[in-house]
Structure 1
């Protein structure tokens, strides 16, 4: 069942992709391919499959190629159809008619929290999802990847608690992520293959394993109450001179409560070179297998 109240999603695409240099010097990291499609293609497909109708890209002047990717290239479309390549032309214009993709500029690069806040003029009073384009959920495992977001949307509709997707990570990777501190850790079933939702007491950013409150790491999918905008607007810059999304989440937890949702399936970090190469090979192999 798809949560009926969430129809908007924010995808922040303003980052320069320094972990992917030199590949990302002239090509936005979000357009780097996984198989025969750019990474952001899968993220947008995931959002649409979960019921999102309006996607807001938060970028900057050098990221207009991303917006162009989701637009119709009339000249290319005309040429392909003139050559009898209707199937190929149709595959390039794949966005459903009831889905809108908009882009708004972040302006100053003041962090993830600031990027989400920049979408407020378009999101308005709607509750909304946030999908980080660096994180691509495996789309080759049935509906599992889209089901994560749909579950979060349903869970939000049930109790109005914002939801944050988490996944169990290996001991050696704990220091790379924001780690959830749960209100009731006894509810964790690390081997579960179903989505579950728990209250979260807070997050610890990139802790050492010995200091980590759990091994549940933030994956890069959020469903937020519109109230998060008020907290972001009042959040002061902290680490690196940036407005941190986690600071606003902590404030939201203290007043309204926030849940974490455990993830089903696998995810890939498409913003890290080693993980990206592994993901590219996997996606290409899956697509070749489907084409046989």
Structure 2
């Protein structure tokens, strides 16, 4: 089997237009789900998958992401002095070890493929994960851990997928499979937003990947695709000509936090999943209804 997956790329440079004005001054991935930013959950998921180094692809005005993952001696000192040690532990839980995080400026919004390509020198010549932080995944076994486990079984490249809502497959990037047996199947292609009725499956690409480093050479010379951007799906399609790709239908539920209703659903779901909040949250929802 190939090298272990140690590094993850998190493209966070997007403007968050679907959640404006909330994302006007706060990076969209720092918007809260219950009492923590979206990124906190995604980093926790990555750690559960054995990720040791996080590569954030950031844009202008997103210094708050770096600050969130740094110590804050003033706040920590006040909490310690007041004996609020439980809150202090919560504040410190997301802190990395020194050198565990890199922050790379994308400079221009040229698409997801371009964002991933920006990480090439930090990733080097080893397999790596890509995590789209908009997509918050609630799962008994962390979604990325499921993907890494699949990679350890079959090698190559892994694309995490899930069933599209009935009649909505044409809205997503859909995978084509050699056969559909169980949750892990070899891919033969992928189609971005296929015309209704032409979908090769009902499984859409949902924001977690394990990719081989050869993707960087492809992205380097790739022409711009849909929207005038360098598309990651185009790069993966080209890499598929020489390397194996498997689609993993993961076990869990995805919340699209780049969307206002998706963010609301995530807040409700994660509140109901917290033992200390669940009863009060349920009661609050009942009262509102």
Confirm or deny a common fold (TM above 0.5). yes
Q: Which residue of 2 aligns with 1:125?
A: 125
Q: 2:159 aligns with which of 164, 186, 193?
A: 164
Residues in 2 aligned to 1:164 and 1:31: alpha-carbon distance in whole angstroms: 25
Contact kept? 2:3, 2:126, Cα under 8 Å: no
Contact kept? 2:146, 2:250, Cα under 8 Å: no
Q: Which residue of 1 aligns with 2:215?
A: 228
Q: Which residue of 1 aligns with 2:17?
A: 18
Residues in 2 aligned to 1:155 and 1:286: alpha-carbon distance in whole angstroms: 27
Contact kept? 2:3, 2:127, Cα under 8 Å: no
More helix by share: 1
Q: Which residue of 2 aligns with 1:192?
A: none
1:252 to 2:233 alignment: no
Residues in 2 aligned to 1:156 and 1:286: alpha-carbon distance in whole angstroms: 29
Residues in 2 aligned to 1:42 and 1:92: alpha-carbon distance in whole angstroms: 13
1:86 to 2:85 alignment: yes
Question: Could you tell me how far 1:150 is from its partner in structure 2?
Answer: 2.1
User: Which stretches in structure 2 are left out of the alignment for 5+ residues?
Assistant: 282-289
Q: Deviations over 1:7-31 (max 9, x none)?
A: 1000000000111111111111101
User: Which stretches in structure 1 are left out of the alignment for 5+ residues?
Assistant: 190-195
Supply the RMSD in Å over aligned alpha carbons: 2.0
Q: Which residue of 2 aligns with 1:39?
A: 38
Q: Aligned with 2:104: secondary structure?
A: strand
Residues in 1 aligned to 2:57 and 2:96: alpha-carbon distance in whole angstroms: 21
Q: Which residue of 2 aligns with 1:240?
A: 227
Q: Deviations over 1:88-141 (max 9, x none)?
A: 112111136488122111111100000001111211222100000010001xx5
1:45-194 to 2 correspondences below 5 Å = 45-94=44-93, 95=95, 97=97, 100-138=100-138, 141=139, 143-144=140-141, 146=142, 148-185=143-180, 187=181, 189=182
Q: Which residue of 2 aligns with 1:193?
A: none
Question: Could you tell me how far 1:66 is from its partner in structure 2?
Answer: 1.1
Identify the range of structure 1 (174-183 vs 90-99) with the bigger mean alpha-carbon deviation: 90-99
Residues in 2 aligned to 1:170 and 1:152: alpha-carbon distance in whole angstroms: 22
Q: 2:255 aligns with which of 268, 274, 280?
A: 268
Contact kept? 1:53, 1:99, Cα under 8 Å: no
Q: Which residue of 1 aligns with 2:278?
A: 289
Identify the range of structure 1 (3-12 vs 92-101) with the bigger mean alpha-carbon deviation: 92-101
Q: Which residue of 2 aligns with 1:204?
A: 191
Q: Deviations over 1:39-75 (max 9, x none)?
A: 1111110000110010111001211111111111111
Q: Deviations over 1:215-234 (max 9, x none)?
A: 00111000011111111112
Residues in 1 aligned to 2:279 and 2:221: alpha-carbon distance in whole angstroms: 49
Question: Could you tell me how far 1:152 is from its partner in structure 2?
Answer: 2.0
Question: Could you tell me how far 1:35 is from its partner in structure 2?
Answer: 0.8
Residues in 1 aligned to 2:214 and 2:56: alpha-carbon distance in whole angstroms: 20
Residues in 2 aligned to 1:119 and 1:177: alpha-carbon distance in whole angstroms: 25
Identify the range of structure 1 (9-18 vs 76-85) with the bigger mean alpha-carbon deviation: 76-85
Question: Could you tell me how far 1:87 is from its partner in structure 2?
Answer: 2.3
**In structure 2, do the counterparts of structure 1 residues 264 and 28 end up closer, same or farther at CA, with 3 Å as the change threshold?**
same
Contact kept? 2:69, 2:96, Cα under 8 Å: no
